[in-house]
A and B are shown apart, each in its own frame.
Chain A
Amino acid sequence: MPQTASTGAVELDLDPFSDETIHEREHFDTTVRETAPVVWLSRYGVWATGRHAEGEQVVTDWQSFTNTAGTGLLDTRKKENWRAPSPVLDADPPDHTKYRSVIASVLSPVMVRTLQEHFEERAAQMVDELVERREFDAAQDLAQAYPLAVVPEIVGMSPEGRENLLPYSELNFQAMGPRNERYRRAAERAQAAVDYAATAVLRENLDPDGIGMRIYAAADEGTVTEQEAALLVRTFVGAGVDTTMYSMGLTLHALMTNPDQWALLQSEPGRARNAYEEALRWATPGPLLGRTTATEVELGGVTLGAGQKVLVCVNAANHDPRRWEDPDRFDITRRANGHLTFGKGVHACVGQMLARAEVTAVLSAFVRRVKSVELVGEPVKLDSNWLRGWEHLPVRVTPH
């Protein structure tokens, strides 16, 4: 039985998880954003905001909007979740601080800079091979293949069983939504993968030179326990692959469908990093972020009761005309920082510098080798409760 909204709140009977919304967000995002600063989604008994200012408030004010009930639709304190809570995702300061710093130190800008060369080499190899073929699936063969190859490499995971990574993280993200058919299918597919994820991240299965072992170094120093170190490696692998690959596919698609921006990037490849930033804003790979009110709290002129879920509609906020000029235009020269795609504040995505490094490496390699790229078939969208992206992008390229 959904809870009811407080008096005076605007209710909407929209479904963020319907096939229509999942495959075409615009109607949902625009309605939520333009109806009121905060709306009550009566079907699920949750609050939602599609505005940048309110969204930023929710993700920044962790005292009022807690992560401890999970960052999805469901309150994981009330309902048993499919996995143990992550010490960093599903927690707030002070507990969260220690775990976040452990991950932050291994994903620091300096660490990421040391990986840059490796990323560029791998990107060049992969793009060269694909350009040879002329026709390929830019989603499967590049956007998905690249993070699936490099993330386990840098973590130091064995190549064996890597085919389980995708079903594992797919379940991770499907489970952020309701217990619908998408969730059930993902849960079935991921049965073996859950066991894989639990063992692949154990110390004895990691390469001593990888990032994963640096997290275990924190266990050796006594900062975290052995079990917590395993959960942190699992969180990193679960959160860092799908998100990056779908954002890469969305970026490539944005460039293909905006030829003026592709031409601009062709003449100035140095804009690759900002092109990615703008794509993160314009076509947000993670359109929803969930928080839970810790106490009664005011948001956008409405008083929210304690213990209620709030969904930040990130893609809607990233297109909020109150914050962005001409928000629906994809413009790689735009100053796009300030989008909420990675969140903000203490819970901001800790792997965001890694994602930028990976995607910039691929994009730079791609734009330097490919003169033109065209779709040669119908692209297929991802069917996910919590992520947006392309499952298939059949393309033909013409090299320089």
Chain B
Amino acid sequence: MFRLRSADGNVIELEPEHGESVMDTAVRAGVDGIVGECGGSASCGTCHVFVPEEHLARLDPPEFAEEQTLGYTAVPRTDASRLACQVPAADVDGAVLDLPERQY
């Protein structure tokens, strides 16, 4: 289980299926703040999320494609930024991830 908090403070709790990414779970649940236009190939930058520090430290660092795409997100990246399609939902169990104001 993890939670997503929209820019205006609404929190939604999501239950991932086995092996899903945070983007997969959010798209399946129809969460508005995650688009996932490219379907999970780290190439559109529309599933931008902010991951709390303690969970961020546990994640594998971004690969090249994600690193590249994080440079193009609609809301500029911070140190907490990741693409939800590259974050296994199991690795952020219990976390509250923040969504940017917009993804385009």
Contact = CB atoms under 8 A, between A and B. Distances in A.
Contacts of B36: 337-338
B27 A352 contact: no
Contacts of A344: 39-41
Nearest first, the 3 A-B pairs at minimum CB distance are A348-B41, A110-B72, A109-B72
A113 to B, nearest CB: 8
Interface stretch (A66-74, A79-87, A96-104): A96-104
Contacts of A342: 38-39
Contact of B43 (A97, A277, A337, A348): A348
Given A101-B64, A109-B45, A337 B72 contact: no
A208 interface: no
A104 B63 CA distance: 14
Contacts of A339: 39
A108 B64 CA distance: 13
Contacts of A105: 68
Q: Which of B39, B40, B44, B72 has the most CB of A within 10 A?
A: B39
A338 B68 contact: no
B27 A338 contact: yes
Contacts of B45: 109
A346 B45 CA distance: 15
Interface string B61-74: 00011001101100
A322 interface: no
Interface of B: 27-28, 30, 35-41, 43-45, 64-65, 68-69, 71-72
Interface residues of A, number: 26
Contacts of B69: 104, 108-109
Nearest to A109: B72
Nearest to B74: A109
A335 B30 contact: yes
A277 B39 CA distance: 11
A224 B54 CA distance: 39
A303 B41 CA distance: 27
Interface string A319-349: 0000000000000000101111011111110
Contacts of B68: 101, 104-105, 108
Contacts of A277: 37
A353 interface: yes
Given A335-B30, A352-B38, A110 B71 contact: yes
A350 B69 CA distance: 12
